[in-house]
């Protein structure tokens, strides 16, 4: 089932916000959002011609603004070219198409993503993955010590900064953990049939960006690193919704390739996994695509298993946190949680054990 599968890492883009409205809060006052002031629309009275400052050739208070004719340059300026209206474009459609990209944050989070993908949420991971995570025979030698070394290498040894940036240590940590998982390839030879593709693309039309005849057409696990700037960072709820949408996109594109464009209940369900992390907290998700018929709410639905907010470690401090001359958090790595990496390893091994 998993032959020809691939690991996929979705690269993140820094969201750009435009036209944001600031929110001011004052004690004892109501909260109001400042809105941009709109210019009053000109009043036109039939039979009366407004007096403008067109003849004066400069602005005059009290006179109306003139309606200037469109200036014809006599040649086409590429820097001031006016494109056609949307209604005049040849590919214009009356029915709108909504695009979900990596900067999209859903207002309702997971609830909205479940409705869009016609899925049912199940808390926790499937029992098959939990059995792999609990079996010590699937571990490698000195596993906990190697994972701690991987965390320290990402947080302390790759930079001389006292507090490294998230966009630096988060991708390094993910690469280190995947490198540790590859140690088990001699024990499970089918892991060699997988590859890691970074910054892949799944278009809004559910068409995959891998080429025809690509030897790894089926995404096994999607990895998402959340290391954006503080104001543009995804909170856990929108991040989990993003995981659902991108995992569903991979499974849906695979179903279209195998079963055609007609909506139907799949003979063999398609399973895709997803792991998201901000360098400290992990989100685990497994999606089972049972149907591509998303028109109605009745009938068979897709299934999603979600294990959320799993800490790999509590703190990684270059300097101790001291308060009132007492060390609150010691320097170095503290609060390592081996269960989180066991789940990470189990999802990597799923299909090969």
Question: Which 3 state secondary structure label does DSSP give 172?
Answer: helix
Ramachandran assignment for 168, one of left (phi > 0), alpha (psi -120 to 50 degrees), beta (any other): alpha
Q: Using one digit for the tens of pLDDT, what is the confidence trace for 312-349? A: 999 998 888 888 889 888 889 999 999 999 999 999 99
* Neighbour count for residue 168 (Cβ, 10 Å): 16
pLDDT at 7: 59
Q: Using one digit for the tens of pLDDT, what is the confidence trace for 118-153? A: 999 999 999 999 999 999 999 999 999 999 999 999
The lowest-confidence range among 2-6, 94-98, 134-138, 139-143 is 2-6
Q: How far is CA 78 from CA 75, 84, 90, 98, in A?
A: 10, 14, 21, 30
**168 phi and psi angles, rounded to 5 deg:** -100, -50
Nearby residues of 102 by Cβ (< 8 Å), 6 or more positions away:
10, 11, 12, 13, 242
Residue where the block lists tokens 């004066």: 56
Question: Which 3 state secondary structure label does DSSP give 164?
Answer: coil
* Neighbour count for residue 301 (Cβ, 10 Å): 15
Q: 203-212 as b/e, with b when 16 or more CB fall inside 10 Å?
A: eeebebebee
- Pick from 192, 273, 213, 270: nearest CA to 10: 273
Residue where the block lists tokens 């060390």: 327
The lowest-confidence range among 69-73, 85-89, 239-243, 346-350 is 69-73
- Pick from 126, 133, 132: nearest CA to 269: 126
Question: Which 3 state secondary structure label does DSSP give 146?
Answer: helix
Q: How far apart are CA 272 and CA 316, in angstroms?
A: 32
Sequence ranges of the domains in the chain: 5-11+106-349
Is there a contact between 233 and 21 (Cβ–Cβ < 8 Å)?
Answer: no
Q: How far apart are CA 175 and CA 182, in angstroms?
A: 11
Nearby residues of 231 by Cβ (< 8 Å), 6 or more positions away:
17
Can you give the pTM of this predicted structure? 0.75
């Amino acid at each position: 089932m998993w032959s020809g599968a691939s690991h996929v890492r979705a690269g993140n883009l820094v969201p750009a916000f435009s036209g944001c409205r600031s929110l001011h809060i004052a004690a004892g006052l109501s909260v109001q959002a400042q809105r941009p002031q709109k210019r009053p629309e000109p009043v036109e009275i039939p039979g009366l011609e407004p007096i403008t400052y067109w003849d004066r050739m400069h602005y005059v208070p009290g006179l109306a603004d003139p309606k200037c004719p469109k200036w014809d340059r006599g040649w086409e300026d590429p820097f001031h070219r006016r494109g056609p209206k949307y209604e005049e474009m040849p590919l214009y459609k009356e029915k709108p198409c909504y695009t979900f990209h990596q900067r999209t944050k859903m207002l309702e989070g997971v609830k909205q993503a479940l409705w869009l993908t016609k899925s049912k949420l199940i808390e926790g991971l499937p029992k098959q993955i939990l059995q792999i995570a609990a079996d010590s025979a699937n571990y490698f030698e000195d596993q906990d010590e190697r994972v701690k070394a991987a965390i320290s290498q990402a947080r302390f040894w790759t930079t001389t900064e006292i507090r490294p940036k998230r966009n630096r240590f988060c991708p390094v940590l993910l690469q280190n953990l995947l490198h540790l998982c590859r140690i088990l390839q001699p024990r499970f030879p089918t892991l060699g049939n997988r590859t890691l593709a970074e910054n892949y693309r799944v278009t809004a039309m559910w068409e995959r960006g891998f080429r025809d005849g690509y030897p790894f057409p089926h995404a096994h696990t999607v990895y998402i690193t959340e290391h954006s700037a503080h104001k543009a960072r995804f909170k856990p709820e929108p991040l989990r919704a993003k995981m659902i949408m991108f995992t569903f996109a991979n499974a849906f594109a695979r179903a279209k390739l195998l079963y055609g464009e007609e909506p139907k209940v799949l003979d063999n369900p398609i399973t895709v996994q997803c792991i998201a992390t901000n360098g400290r907290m992990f989100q685990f998700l497994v999606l089972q695509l049972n149907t591509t018929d998303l028109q109605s709410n009745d009938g068979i639905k897709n299934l999603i298993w979600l294990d959320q907010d799993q800490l790999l470690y509590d703190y990684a401090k270059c300097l101790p946190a001291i308060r009132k001359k007492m060390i609150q958090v010691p320097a170095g790595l503290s609060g390592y949680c081996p269960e989180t990496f066991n789940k990470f390893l189990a999802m990597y091994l799923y299909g090969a054990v």
